[in-house]
Amino acid sequence: MRQLPLYPLKFDPIYQYRIWGGRRLQTLLSAPLPVNEAVGEAWILSDRDDHPSKVTNGPLKGQTISQLMTHSAEQLMGPLVGKFDRFPLLLKFLDCQQVLSVQVHPSDQLKKYIPKGEHGKTEAWVVLQTGSNARIYAGLKPDTTEQEIREKLKNDTVADVLASFVPKAGQSVLIKAGTVHTLGDVIVFEVQENSDVTYRLYDWGRIDEKTGKPRDLQVEKALACIDFSKTAIGPAKPTFKPDGPEVLELLVEDEHFTVMRHAAYAPFTVGKENTPRVLVCIEGQGELGHQTENYPFNTGDVMLLPASVGACPLIPKNKIVVLEIILPDGN
């Protein structure tokens, strides 16, 4: 692939069947959902071998982010070039129509439980919509022991040792690797390390309609990966940044990613010079300006700003709410 100048890059969602999914993502995304299927996840930026995101706009249309990481790495990543074998984050929308399995992800330090080529998995959620039964389970109740969890698994009462709360739209939650967690009856945006390592501890006795069987559990691995110090994780407290043309909040700050939220009626600036950033529109419509072009940016869209693009003006059509994701070591 000959190297072309990069520009703000858009990608189509990659829909994923999930036993706990529904049809509510069609209210958020313009790409049609697969017919008659429970869609739990829309992978909106993925550098995974099995599901690579493809550029949908401009002269690079059809190229995968993996190809860009190979052939245009310096333009794409700037000072982060060479630090990652692949794009370091995986971004999704989740429609948790039903509660997910009770699960845990290993930390980067637990090499024994991370398959070759994978990483640990810290993630964060931004709650977009809630239903009447919405609940987030995050962390164990204080003083819970491994033996107590084993006993609860035997009699299907594991929820008794999980800390939980009723979420509200707009809240964000940081789920560090090693945290026991699940969630249900919510639509969330999720950002995570680029990893697909999940160990199920409990799945509520469900049968997968596609297979007619329960889903596999990985109880021993899940127990081995639990950080028992992660108890009663609640919503993160946003920090408001200095005044500008928009309301700017720092929602989540972690070594693996940072998430900011812009809300504005007037033009404002996104991105940073010589730094890759990712934008996700969660409400409204607008246009992103770069050089002589304006790029439409609507609810459900994801846009990758390569380092060579830098900072850009974003012009709302009315009110717009945009998440801006900073990569690890991306300042």
Report whether 16 contacts 25 (CB < 8 A).
no
Report whether 290 contacts 325 (CB < 8 A).
no
- Report which of 157, 171, 150 is spatially closest to residue 226, judged by C-alpha positions: 150
Helix (H) or strand (E) holding 73: helix 73-77
| Catalytic site includes residue 200 | yes
Angle at 323 between CA 253 and CA 239, to 5 degrees: 45
CA distance readout (Å), 117 to 49, 81, 175, 178: 11, 19, 22, 19
- Report which of 78, 1, 6 is spatially closest to residue 295, judged by C-alpha positions: 6
Provide the edge-to-edge strand list for the sheet that holds 258-264: 9-10, 302-305, 277-283, 320-326, 258-264, 247-253, 239-240
Q: Which of 24, 86, 135, 200 is catalytic?
A: 200
Determine the Cα–Cα distance for residues 92 and 15; give it in Å rounded to an integer: 10
Report whether 29 contacts 13 (CB < 8 A).
yes
Residues serving a catalytic function are 200
